[in-house]
Amino acid sequence: MENDMGFWTDRVVMITGASSGIGKGLALDLIARGARLGLLARRENLLEEIVNGARVRGGKAFAVAADVRDADAMRSAADRIRAQLGPIDILIANAGIGTSSHISQLDPIHTANVLSINVLGAANSLAAVVPQMVERGKGQLVAISSLAAYRGLAKSAAYCASKAAMSSYFESVRIDLRGTGVGVTIIHPGFIKTPLTAGRDAKMPYLMELDDAIPKIVSAIEKGKKSVAFPWQLATVVRAGMLMPTFMYDWIAARNSFRE
């Protein structure tokens, strides 16, 4: 059986949204485990800092500046990563934005932006790697979704819709890919300390340190889990919410706004 280090050694991993937060945290962790990384985001200077840090430590990483909303740019980004590092073994579709959107300020442009980055961006990332993975008969697609995927939350219409769509999209893909050798892992984290949650006034129950969240994501990928949700306390609350009658859920959810 492969040990933890063995799993990642020389694996080519493409991470979208690698310039900050969870994506950066995963990049730093996986470099230390011996993976070869293709790092994608719009802020190239931040990616280059990670790449240079990797080189100093003897690791191999490659930065590509691209916007996940641009399907052609994503395909050519994946081509460049393959040319530099070899076939992509694992895609971590992590790029995303999280915003507050009370219905009274609902702006169609805002909603379109959240959906195009969080949903279409993930679909573009997936399309850039799936044909080659299927051809090779192996690969793993990882979605960084959210506990917000499970039910609607106050002031989060666009975000909840985007994460529900992302989880459903990857779940459907998992079913379609049965028997091809390509697996799908959907991660549903609760609140994690990153630039996305920084400065929020709203309560964020069971807010996790990034360093505590990263090993949970890494372990789920190693084990080839189909779906994981953490932290367990908030995941249990969310699962209980899924079983509640709608009137009860609405009453409780209206009293718990997780967004300012």
The secondary structure of residue 180, as a DSSP letter, is T
Residue given tokens 């932006």 in the structure block: 113
Rule CB under 6 A: say whether 43 interacts with ligand NAP.
Answer: yes
For residue 162, the minimal CB distance to ligand NAP (Å) is 8
Rule CB under 6 A: say whether 77 interacts with ligand NAP.
Answer: no
Consecutive H or E run containing 157: helix 157-176
Rule CB under 6 A: say whether 231 interacts with ligand NAP.
Answer: no
Rule CB under 6 A: say whether 141 interacts with ligand NAP.
Answer: no
Nearest residue to 151 (alpha-carbon basis) of 168, 165, 164: 164
Out of 59, 189, 231, 241, the only residue in the binding site for ligand NAP (CB under 6 A) is 189
Q: Which residues pair with 156 in a beta bridge?
A: 101
Rule CB under 6 A: say whether 73 interacts with ligand NAP.
Answer: no
CB 114 within 8 A of CB 162: yes
Rule CB under 6 A: say whether 117 interacts with ligand NAP.
Answer: yes
Pair of tokens at residue 195: 């630039």
Contacts of ligand NAP in 147-186 (CB under 6 A): none
How far apart CA 260 and CA 247 sit, in angstroms, is 24
Q: Quick check: is 169 catalytic?
A: no
- In degrees rounded to 5, what are phi and psi of residue 45? -60, -35
Rule CB under 6 A: say whether 96 interacts with ligand NAP.
Answer: yes
Out of 8, 19, 158, 218, the only residue in the binding site for ligand NAP (CB under 6 A) is 19
CB 100 within 8 A of CB 158: no
Out of 14, 94, 119, 140, the only residue in the binding site for ligand NAP (CB under 6 A) is 94
Torsion, CA 238, CA 202, CA 230, CA 112, rounded to 10: 80
Out of 69, 151, 200, 239, the only residue in the binding site for ligand NAP (CB under 6 A) is 69
CB 194 within 8 A of CB 221: no
Rule CB under 6 A: say whether 110 interacts with ligand NAP.
Answer: no
- Return the number of the residue (9 or 236) whose C-beta is nearest ligand NAP: 236
3-state class of 138 per DSSP?
coil
For residue 92, the minimal CB distance to ligand NAP (Å) is 10
Consecutive H or E run containing 32: helix 21-32
Rule CB under 6 A: say whether 38 interacts with ligand NAP.
Answer: no
Rule CB under 6 A: say whether 250 interacts with ligand NAP.
Answer: no
Stretch that binds ligand NAP, among 66-74, 82-90, 217-225, 247-255 (CB under 6 A): 66-74
CB 62 within 8 A of CB 81: yes
User: Can you give the binding site for ligand NAP, defined by CB under 6 A?
Assistant: 16-23, 41-43, 67-69, 94-98, 117, 121, 144, 146, 189, 191-192, 194-197
Active site residues per annotation: 159
